[in-house]
Amino acid sequence: MLRIRKFRWEDTFMVLGIINEAAKAYGKVLKPPVYHEPQMTLDEFLCEANRIKFFVAKMNGKIVGVAGYEYVKDVALIRHVYVKPEYQRKGIGTALIKHLESLIVKEDKTEKLIVGTYNVAYWAIAFYQKHGYGIVENSNIILKKYYNIPDIQRENSIALKKLLLKR
C-alpha cells in the first residue's frame, strides 16, 4: 500500500540515501564535473529541508520516494523528486507530484509551477511532460530567476512549467 506523508526530521538519512541512490542515473548521461557524487551532502539536504516542504512516499511502511515544493517569487517550484530505483515506474513519482500539486492548488498562492532538471535527463523530462509540464523557451533566464543553483548546474538544465487549473 502506498501512503504519502509529510517529511519528518527522523526520515533524513533514509531520504538522503534515496536521493543519492536515484541520482546515480545522472551518471549515465552526464560527465564530471557536471555529474558529481553524492548528488547532495547532508548539510545541503538539511539546508533544503529547512525551506522546502518535503513529502515522503511509503510503500508497505518503507520510504521509497521523496518530493517537495517551495514558493519563490510568483511561482511554486517542484523540488527534488526522487524514487528509489527498484520502485521506479510503478506510479510513485506520479503519486508524489499529484500530492504536491493538490496542496499547491489548495494553498491558492499561485497557479504557476516550475520544475528544473538536467537537460539530458530524458526520463525526468518525459515524466514531467506526462504530467502536463512543458519545456520553456528561455530556461536559462527562468532558472536564474527562481533557482539558487551553481552556474554549471543551471547551464546543463532546463525548466518546465505548468499552469494549474483554478478550482
Ligand X SMILES: CC(C)(COP(=O)(O)OP(=O)(O)OC[C@H]1O[C@@H](n2cnc3c(N)ncnc32)[C@H](O)[C@@H]1OP(=O)(O)O)[C@@H](O)C(=O)NCCC(=O)NCCS
Binding to ligand X by residue 82, rule CB under 6 A? yes
Stretch that binds ligand X, among 29-37, 106-114, 115-123, 139-147 (CB under 6 A): 115-123
Which residue is listed with cell 523540488?
A: 79
Q: 113 forms bridges with which residues in the sheet?
A: 76, 162
Q: Which of 91, 107, 134, 135 is in the footprint of ligand X by CB under 6 A?
A: 91
- The Cα 81–Cα 68 span in angstroms is 7
Binding to ligand X by residue 133, rule CB under 6 A? no
- The Cα 41–Cα 126 span in angstroms is 27
Stretch that binds ligand X, among 20-28, 30-38, 41-49, 135-143 (CB under 6 A): 20-28
Stretch that binds ligand X, among 18-26, 27-35, 104-112, 139-147 (CB under 6 A): 18-26
Secondary-structure breakdown of the chain: helix, strand, coil percentages, each rounded to the nearest 5:
45, 30, 30
| Closer Cβ to ligand X, 98 or 108, answer by number | 98
Binding to ligand X by residue 76, rule CB under 6 A? no
- Helices of type H across 12-63: 12-22, 42-51
- The Cα 93–Cα 98 span in angstroms is 9
| Closer Cβ to ligand X, 76 or 92, answer by number | 92
Residue nearest to ligand X (CB): 93
3-class DSSP state for residue 89?
Answer: coil
Instruction: Summarize as ranges the residues that interact with ligand X (CB under 6 A).
Output: 22-23, 25, 81-83, 88-94, 117, 121, 123-124, 126-127, 130
